[in-house]
Amino acid sequence: MLRIHNSLAREKQAFTPIEPGKVRMYVCGLTVYDYFHIGNARTLTVFDMVYRWLRAAGYDVKYVRNITDVDDKIIERANRNGETIETLTTRMIDAMHEDCDRLLMLRPSAEPRATQHIDDMLGLIGDLEKNGRAYPAANGDVYYAVREFPGYGKLSGKSIDDLRAGERVAVDGHKRDPLDFVLWKAAKPHEPHWCSCYGEGRPGWHIECSAMSRAELGDTLDIHGGGWDLQFPHHENEIAQSEGASGKPFVNYWMHAAFLNMDNEKMSKSLGNVFTTREVLNKLDAVQGGEAVRFFLLRGHYRSEINYTWDLLQEARGALVSLYTALRDVPPAVSAADYRIDWADPHARRFHDAMSDDFNTAMAFAVLFDLRGEIHRHRSPAHAALLRALGGTLGFLQADPAAFVQGAAQASEAAEIEALIAARVQAKKARDFAEADRIRDEIKARGVILEDGAGGTTWRKA
C-alpha cells in the first residue's frame, strides 16, 4: 500500500485514487523566461520520480505539468532582448525539453500553456463571480475576495488574520482586503492582452493552474505537486479558486518537494547564487553527467532539503559509476526487455517498501547498493538483472555499463589509452617493469584508472 505525505493533512496517508488504478496528477511547471536552474531541476526530477514510481506500481497516470508562458518576467526579458514573447518562450520551451531529456525525465502526458487556455481561465473567473467570490475593481482588474472563501488558509495552516499580520501585504485601494489577489489584470500599454467581458487584459498567475488542471483533469485531482515555496500563496489561492468555483474538493493529496540549497543557502535568482542546469551538465562528462545529476537530486528524500556543491555532485557520480561497474563486471542474466521484477524477492520487497513509504528514495537507493555488494560477493547475474530493473523503475542504470563507466572519452582518446595498455602489456612481458610503471603513470595522468583482472586489463575514467 502506497502512503503519501499530504501537506494539507500534515501526515502520511494511505493513497486511494479517485478512480481505481488511475492517477490524475498536476505539477506546477516553469515560467519560461530563462534556462531553468538546478533548484528547479530538483522539483521537476522529484515529480518525474513520483510519476515513474506510480507507473511501476501499476497505475495508469495522467501527469500534467503546465508552462507559464506569459507573465511580468517574460514580458520584461523579451523587451530587454528585443524579441517577441513568442520567440523567447518557444526558445526556452525547447531548451527546457533538452535539459529535461538530459536528466532522463519522461515527458508529462500534457504540458498545457497558459496562453492556450485563456478562455478556460475567463470561464473560471466567471464562475467565481457568480458565486460571489470575485469582483471587478474600478481599475479594470478582477480580484478574488478571500474573505468569501471559508477555507482560506487551510493549506498553509494560517487564518486570514495571521496571514495579514505575517505577510505585511501592501494596502491597495482597489482591493476590498489586502490579501485579495488578482485573477485578471487590466491591459497596460505594450503588453500582451486578450479581450474579455472585463475589458482587455491578461490572467493572473494563480488562475492558470486552476483553469488548466480543470481542463485537463477535471474538478478533483488525486495529486498536486510543486516546490515547497508554492504552498503560500500560490497553492492556497489555487484551492480558493478551484473549490470556490466548483464546490468540490480540489486536491486529495498535496505533495511539496523541499528546496535545493547552494552552499547551505537557498538557491534563487534574487540571491544571485544560481547555476543553470545546462551549465552544470556542460561541466560534467557528457555520457555520465545527466544521470549523475539525476542521481544526486534523488538520493535524498524529497521532503529533505539538499545541498548543492561540486564535491557532493562528484561523489554522487562516483556512486552511480560504482553501480554501473557492478553491471559491467557481472552482466545481467536476462535482457532488460525479457526481465520481470519478482516483487517477492527480499531485495525487491525492501525497495518496494521504501518507495511505498512516501517515495523514500534514500532507502530505495540503499537497496541498490546492497545489491551491488551481492553482485561482487557472489558474481550473481540474477542480482545484476534485479539491480538494473529496480534502478530502471526510477530512470537509472539503463545505459550500456561499459560505455557508461568509461565516460565520454573520445574514440581517439580511447584508442590511445588502449594502445598504452597494450604497450604496458608488452613492457611487462619483456620484464621492463620500469617502462610498465612509467606507462601506468602516463595513463593515470590522463585521469584513467586501470583495473587488472583475470580477463586482462580494463580501464575507466577516474
Contacts with ligand AMP, residue ranges (CB under 6 A): 28, 30-31, 39-40, 42-43, 226-227, 229-230, 259-260, 266-268
Do 84 and 272 contact (CB within 8 A), yes or no?
no
For ligand AMP, the closer of residues 209 and 397 by Cβ is 209
Residue 5 contact, options Zn ion, ligand AMP, none, Cβ 5-8 Å cut-off depending on partner type: none
Nearer to Zn ion, 210 or 360 (CB): 210
417 binds Zn ion (CB under 5 A): no
- Order of strands, edge to edge, in the sheet holding 134-136? 134-136, 142-144, 181-186, 201-203
The answer to whether residues 139 and 221 touch, using CB atoms and an 8 Å cutoff, is no
Residue 246 binding: pick among ligand AMP, Zn ion, none (C-beta 5-8 Å cut-off by kind): none
Residue whose CB is less far from Zn ion, 201 or 233: 233
Q: How far is the CB of 234 from Zn ion (least distance, A)?
A: 5
229 binds, among ligand AMP, Zn ion, none (CB under 5 to 8 A by kind): ligand AMP
String marking each residue 61-90 x if it binds Zn ion according to CB under 5 A: ------------------------------
Buried b vs exposed e over 236-253: b needs ≥16 C-beta within 10 Å? bbbbbbbbbbbeeebbbb
Query: Nearest approach, Cβ of 365 to ligand AMP (angstroms)?
Result: 19
Whether a cis peptide bond, with omega within 30° of 0, leads into 108 is: no
Q: Which does 209 bind (CB under 5 to 8 A by kind): Zn ion, ligand AMP, none?
A: Zn ion
> Which of ligand AMP, Zn ion, none does residue 108 bind to, with CB < 5 to 8 Å depending on kind?
none
Q: Is 183 in the site for Zn ion (CB under 5 A)?
A: no
Closest distance between ligand AMP and the C-beta of residue 260, in Å? 4
Q: How far is the CB of 210 from Zn ion (least distance, A)?
A: 8
In angstroms, the Cα distances linking 303 to 77, 217, 245, 359 are: 32, 26, 31, 10
CB of 37 to ligand AMP, least distance (A): 7
Q: Binds 440, which of Zn ion, ligand AMP, none (CB < 5 to 8 A, cut-off by type)?
A: none
- Binding to Zn ion, residues 186-215 (CB under 5 A): 209
When the beta carbons of 38 and 323 are compared against ligand AMP, the nearer one is 38
Q: Which is nearer to ligand AMP, 229 or 315 (CB)?
A: 229
Binding residues with Zn ion: total (CB under 5 A): 2
Q: Could you tell me the CA-to-CA distances from 276 to 34, 38, 113, 269, 283 in Å, in that order?
A: 9, 6, 22, 10, 11
- Nearer residue to Zn ion within complex by CB, 254 or 459: 254
State the minimum distance, in angstroms, from the CB of residue 308 to ligand AMP. 9
Site mask for Zn ion (CB under 5 A), range 6-45, x = bound? ----------------------x-----------------
Residue linked to cell 480558493: 240
**What's the alpha-carbon Rg for the chain, to the nearest Å?**
26
Whole-number minimum distance, CB 184 to ligand AMP, in Å? 20
Contact 288, 321 (CB under 8 A): yes
Residue 112: CB minimum distance to ligand AMP, A: 16
Q: Where on the chain is the footprint of Zn ion (CB under 5 A)?
A: 28, 209
